[in-house]
Chain A
Amino acid sequence: MTYFEFLNEHGITLLLGTVTTVKVLVCSMILYVIISMIFGLMRLSKNPVIQGTATVYIEFFRGTSLLVQLFWAYYVLPFFGISLEAFTAGVVALGLNFGAYGAEIVRAGILAVPKGQWEAAHSLNFTPAKRIKRIIIPQIFPIILPPAANLTVELLKATALVALVTVVDLTFEAKQINSITWLSAQCFGTALLIYYIMARFALVPFLRWLEVLAARKVGKEKI
């Protein structure tokens, strides 16, 4: 069987799997950005309870393996009466895990804003909320976007794991086709290629574009 015959027969299935992978990626991306913003700010709070909660959350999710968290969300949560669909469990586990990493990036980004900016906002009598919203947050994007881009590529790679909790994504389809046809080189090779194309020619250019946009917004033309 030539490679073209293989693509002819199984290409559609792999593409359908790719669509699911993109769905998982987009949903967990939105979730992880929101979570990392919230917990990154909480981490910098002066209130020990809020700061402690954020620290425990971050250490917990960074300290355990994503696969363990996924299986826990899918197989163990039903013991506590919470039954999540495979897709939801996957997205939630991915979002929570990457949110913990993202929170650290956000924290570092906020700390990297020059102190003079805080002092200037303070001396202009801005309220704390306005200070964060109008002065600090717009400035952190050029700082946090490069590490966040790396993290997002990691997220794309990590979405492959949701196949193990029965989400029918690209990895799942590749495994399925492999177990039917035993054309391992073709199906896993194609899957690897699709992931590579998604990362290299779609996700990374998109994130670079965001970086340029953010840099332009605060008046830095370079990059």
Chain B
Amino acid sequence: MEMGWRWDFTYEILPQMAIATLNTILAAGVGYAIALIVGLFFLLAQRTPSKIFNWVNREIVEFIRSTPLLIQLFFVYFVLPQFGITLSAWVCGMITIGLHFGTYMSEVYRGALEGVSKTQWEACRALNFSTIYTYRRIVLPQAFPIAIPGMGNYLVGIFKDTPLLSTIGVAELFHAATAVGGYNYRYLEPYTLVGIIFLTLSIPAAMWVRKLERDVNISQGKIKK
């Protein structure tokens, strides 16, 4: 076996890796969309008046947040078929990522809602606005900018956790690299390429999130330009 970097091999596997990258981006995008919605449900459950419901919801969130995504993936992928629900690896992966990061997302939403000053609520009450109107026109427009940095961070976070999907056989970037590496018995180029592709995608994304955070802070008057 030849040691050292082989450019011809790199060029040979590059098209395959590029296609797999698209799959990774797709997985991250779909997972993120599900997480955004799941987070809303957890948030709603948190804000119901029932104490027992709140407690159950908080325990579920705590449980999902303090157990590894990898085992959750295995659990969903291997256990659901035993109850007669057979889902493809893609669907399982998306459900698990959506649930796992949905709990994180609900915390981001909660923080944002609590970031809106209480006096805003009192002012709306004094003006006799309905609850829905208060949310729609007063609270949410102010909460959303606060949530943006957190939401952006988890987009990057989900993107970096997609390689875990390869363990249940979702054909994303890391899966492709392992397959190519196993076939040719050369892991140096595929894994290094995966690292480079991740860097080139996630560093600009992280920089964009940071810029967004700064813009939000400027628009909120927290820091000066």
Contacts and interface: CB of A to CB of B under 8 A. Distances in A.
A184 B78 contact: yes
Interface in A179-214: 184-185, 188-189, 191-192, 195-196, 199-200, 204
B74 A72 contact: no
Interface string B123-161: 000000000000000000000000000000000000011
B191 interface: yes
7 contacts: A63-B206, A64-B160, A64-B202, A65-B160, A65-B198, A68-B191, A160-B69
Contacts of B174: 65, 67-68, 71
Interface in A158-191: 158-161, 163-164, 171, 174-175, 178, 184-185, 188-189, 191
A189 B75 contact: yes
A4 interface: no
A60 interface: yes
Interface residues of B, number: 38
A59 interface: yes
A164 B175 CA distance: 13
Given A59-B203, A157-B66, A192 B191 contact: no
A171 B70 contact: yes
Contacts of A62: 206
Interface string B174-196: 10001001000001100110110
A79 B188 contact: yes
B13 interface: no
Range of interface residues on A (Cβ < 8 Å): 35 or more
Interface of A: 59-60, 62-69, 71-72, 75-76, 79, 153, 156-161, 163-164, 171, 174-175, 178, 184-185, 188-189, 191-192, 195-196, 199-200, 204
A38 B72 CA distance: 34
B163 interface: yes
A199 B74 contact: no
A75 B177 CA distance: 12
B206 A64 contact: no
A192 B164 contact: no
B41 interface: no
